[in-house]
A and B are shown apart, each in its own frame.
Chain A
Amino acid sequence: MLSIRNLRAHLVQVNDLDLDAGDCIAVMGASGSGKSLMLRAVADLDPSEGEVSLDGRERMSMSGPSWRRQVMYVGPESGWWEDRVRAHFEDPDAVVGVLQRLGFKADTLNWPVSRLSTGERQRLAIARAFDRGPRVLLLDEPTGALDQEATALVEGVIHDFLMDDGIVLMATHAKEQARRLGVRTLTMKGGRLSA
């Protein structure tokens, strides 16, 4: 269970939010309302105050990197630091299944990053996160750059992750997305969440 209590970061405040294993919450709201800032604060990517814990373990009781390996943020802009796709994965052979479900062939691992389209980068960034085996995914506009077909593939992978007791907190513009995934929605306005 992911628990958030009195989280205060730059421009955002979350008083009380719990997500059980298999739970997913979609956060809607205008651009600049603080959705990304909230997700970044939960991942401890930006400084924040308050308690955030996973299965009873407070994030401050572990190092930043080990927290983020379990509570993983996938941003709207995916960064790449090596030339080839493969070099961004820790266990490239184990990730082939996820790649296929996201519409890629195993050969994609050998592509140069420079050849990828924006949409391909976004889907591969999600595959890259799965490769690390997180418990919680914090998805920031995960299908923002995707067409209908690719969106369906990503939603399928998210659905399977939830079936496996994963936890997802996502920011999205698309109301239909929340409905398709059949999840609870909250609205972010001025840095505050409401039902």
Chain B
Amino acid sequence: MTGQAIPLTALDLVLAALLLIINGGLSVWLNLGITKSLIIAAARMVVQLLLVGLILKYLFAVQSPWLTLGVVLIMIAFAGYEIMSRQDRKLTGLWSYGIGVSTMTFAAISVTVLALSTQLRPDPWWDARYAIPILGMILGNALTGISLGLNTLFNTVTRERWAVEAQIALGHPREVALRPFIRRALKTALMPTINSMAATGVVALPGMMTGQILAGADPVEAVKYQLLVMFLIGGATGIGAVTAIYAAVWRVTDTRHRLRLDRLQEVDQ
């Protein structure tokens, strides 16, 4: 890294926070009814980020592989909960949670380990300063892809049940009968990643890169990191979405190639 970040004082942040108060004033004045959620969201953000800052500082200082692993498991648990909360329908039992968490974990961990062992190579390889932020960005995107993919698959198969059943009754195997739905689910899952790759740098500078530049890094170095992260995200989202969707197809049909909508249930919102 070249250069030095300009340190921020508490007063700097308070001044910036005043901007939110202008928003709050507007909300009251125009009767938008979002004042309360605005205050709660802002307060949550402040508390959560300060806590994360403290935890990361401690984590980087103690350099414990077990503690790092613990933080990784907590992140995965939250991401799994997040996948489930975005579903209109879920598989009965623990299948949706199981498929979502296992495929997301498999994709995110393998891609993170690949990055740590080949491109970044920190010492030790599990150094929390690298492992946690990289895994966090990959998990966040993989969970979006997986939850969009599963949601699209289950909704379209339910809505177009007769199109699937007609094919199965005519003797088509399940992978043929469900092919259009698998394709649609995969497309939906990968769309946010593709869109963000296409727009990045033209419409907006990615947050991670901006942060590095503000912290004093050379822009070209920051761009290289951003590219690495985008490739990792693209890879993990693809692996996660494909495995999750195929696992879900396998569960929503059976070995006799029947469609088993009895294994799906609506989620009360």
A81-B163 CB under 8 A given contacts A45-B168, A68-B170, A72-B170: yes
Contacts of B166 in A (CB 8 A): 75, 78-81, 125
Q: From A69, A72, A81, give the contact of B180 (CB < 8 A).
A: A81
16 extra interchain contacts, Cβ-Cβ under 8 A, other than A46-B258, A68-B169, A80-B163?
Answer: A45-B169, A47-B256, A63-B173, A64-B256, A65-B171, A65-B172, A65-B257, A67-B171, A68-B168, A68-B170, A72-B169, A72-B171, A73-B169, A79-B167, A81-B166, A129-B170
Given contacts A75-B165, A79-B164, A80-B163, contact A69 B258 (CB under 8 A): no
A132 touches B171 (CB 8 A): yes
Q: How far is the CA of A80 from the CA of B167 in the complex (A)?
A: 8
Name the residue on B nearest A140 (C-beta).
B169
List the 4 shortest-distance A-B pairs measured between CB atoms, nearest first: A79-B162, A79-B166, A69-B171, A64-B256
CB distance from A73 to the nearest CB of B (A): 5
Known: A77-B162, A79-B164, A79-B165. A63 touches B170 (CB 8 A): no
Complexed CA–CA distance, A69 and B169 (Å):
8
Report the bound CA distance from A59 to B172 in whole Å.
Answer: 16
Closest A residue by C-beta to B176: A65
Interface residues on A, range: 20 to 34
Least CB distance from A108 to B in Å reads 18
Proximity bits, A36-59, B CB within 8 Å = 1, else 0: 000000011111000000000000
The A/B interface has a contact count, at CB < 8 Å, of: 66
Residues of A within 8 A of B (CB): 43-47, 63-69, 72-75, 77-81, 125, 128-129, 132
Query: Is the Cβ of B163 less than 8 Å from the Cβ of A43?
Result: no
Q: Known contacts being A44-B256, A63-B257, A81-B180, is A68 close to B163, with CB within 8 Å?
A: no
The interface residues of chain A lying within 8 Å CB-to-CB of B268 are none
Shortest distance from the beta carbon of B172 to any chain A beta carbon, whole Å? 7
Chain B residues positioned under 8 Å from A132 (CB to CB)? 170-171
B160 lies within 8 A of chain A by Cβ: yes
Residues of B close to A68: CB separation below 8 A: 168-171
A67–B255 CA distance with the chains assembled, in angstroms:
13
B118 to chain A, nearest CB (A): 43
Q: Which residues of A lie under 8 Å from residue B180 when comparing CB positions?
A: 81
Which single residue of chain A is at the shortest CB-CB distance from B172?
A65
**Distance to closest chain A CB from B178 (angstroms):** 10
A-B contact pairs, 18 of them (CB 8 A): A44-B256, A45-B169, A63-B173, A64-B258, A66-B171, A67-B171, A68-B169, A68-B171, A69-B170, A72-B169, A75-B165, A79-B160, A79-B163, A81-B163, A81-B166, A81-B180, A125-B166, A132-B170
With a cutoff of 8 Å between Cβ atoms, the chain B residues found around residue A81 in the complex are 160, 163-164, 166-167, 180
The CA-CA distance from A119 to B99 in the complex, in Å, is 42
Closest to B181 in A: A81
Instruction: Tell me which residues from 141 to 189 in chain B have a Cβ below 8 Å from any Cβ of chain A.
Output: 160-173, 180
How many angstroms from the CA of A46 to the CA of B261 in the assembled complex? 10
The CA of A191 and the CA of B40, in the complex, are separated in Å by: 58
Taken together as a complex, chains A and B put the C-alpha atoms of A68 and B118 apart, in Å, by 51
Bound complex: CA of A75 vs CA of B254, how far in Å? Answer: 20
How far is the CB of A104 from the nearest CB of chain B, in Å?
18
Residues of chain B within 8 A (CB-CB) of A43 are 169
Task: Report the minimal beta-carbon distance from B164 to chain A, rounded to whole angstroms.
Answer: 7
Q: How far is the CA of A150 from the CA of B254 in the complex (A)?
A: 37
CA A129 – CA B172 in complex, angstroms?
12
Name the CB-closest residue of B to A132.
Answer: B170
Give the contacts of B212-269 with A (CB-CB under 8 A). Answer: 254-259
Residues of chain A with a CB closer than 8 A to B172's CB: 65
Q: What is the chain B residue whose CB lies nearest that of A81? A: B163
Taking the closest CB of chain B, its distance from the CB of A61, in whole angstroms, is 12
